[in-house]
């Protein structure tokens, strides 16, 4: 039994190997926190991650997805100095506005199919 106990850790590195952490109906709140992972592969199955007012920053990061569906609603995605490479990829848009400024789009051996499409160009070469 402990009462009125304070545990303080400074300059501590927790280490886990071959560890399984299971959480159900759990809320985790972090404020002004930095989480650093190196050579780490997080695995999630049947998981929903909900974020509100969240900024995710990555530097020199590779994101790989297989058999993945990404759904966004009322979302703005901003990229600077970004290369997006797709292979054997289908992109479907409905009621979508795509705005580009100072953009180069290069296609090689591509088939672009449009149905009921309006393309408006100004000052275009």
Taking only the tens place, the pLDDT of each residue in 96-121 is: 888 887 888 888 888 888 888 888 77
Instruction: Report the pLDDT averaged over residues 8-27.
Output: 78
What does the pLDDT read at residue 83?
Answer: 80
Give the pLDDT confidence score for residue 97 in this predicted structure: 80
pLDDT at res. 1: 63
105 located within any domain = yes
- Predicted TM-score of the model (pTM): 0.41
DSSP assignment, residue 20?
Answer: -
Report if residue 124 sits inside a domain.
no
Residue 54: inside a domain, yes or no?
no
Domain of residue 77 covers 66-109
Q: Which residue has the tokens 């009621």?
A: 95
Helix (H) or strand (E) holding 82: none
Concatenating the DSSP letter of every residue in 39-106 gives S-----SS-----SS-----SS-----SS-----SS-----SS-----SS-----SS-----SS----
- The reply to whether 88 falls in a domain is yes
Going by C-alpha positions, the residue among 101, 104, 106 that lies closest to residue 122 is: 101
* Count of structural domains, the chain: 1
> For the segment 39-97, what is each residue's pLDDT rounded down to a tens digit?
777 777 777 788 888 888 888 888 888 888 888 888 888 877 788 888 878 888 777 88
| Residue 92 maps to a domain | yes
pLDDT of residue 10: 77
Listed residue (69, 65, 109, 115) closest to 91, CA to CA: 69
pLDDT at 53: 82
71 part of a folded domain = yes
Residue 102 lies in a domain: yes
* % of the chain at pLDDT higher than 90: 0
Give pLDDT tens digits for 75-86: 888 877 788 888
Q: Taken in order 75, 93, 98, 86, is the CA torsion positive or negative?
A: positive
Residue 96 is assigned to a structural domain of this protein: yes
């Amino acid at each position: 039994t402990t009462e009125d106990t304070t545990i303080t850790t400074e300059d501590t590195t927790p280490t886990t190997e071959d560890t399984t952490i299971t959480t159900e109906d759990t809320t985790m709140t972090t404020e002004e926190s930095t989480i650093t992972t190196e050579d780490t592969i997080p695995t999630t199955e049947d998981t929903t991650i909900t974020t509100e007012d969240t900024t995710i920053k990555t530097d020199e990061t590779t994101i790989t997805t297989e058999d993945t569906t990404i759904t966004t609603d009322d979302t703005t995605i901003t990229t600077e100095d970004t290369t997006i490479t797709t292979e054997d990829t289908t992109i479907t848009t409905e009621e979508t506005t795509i705005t580009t400024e100072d953009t180069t789009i290069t296609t090689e051996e591509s088939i672009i199919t449009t149905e009921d499409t309006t393309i408006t160009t100004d000052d275009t070469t």
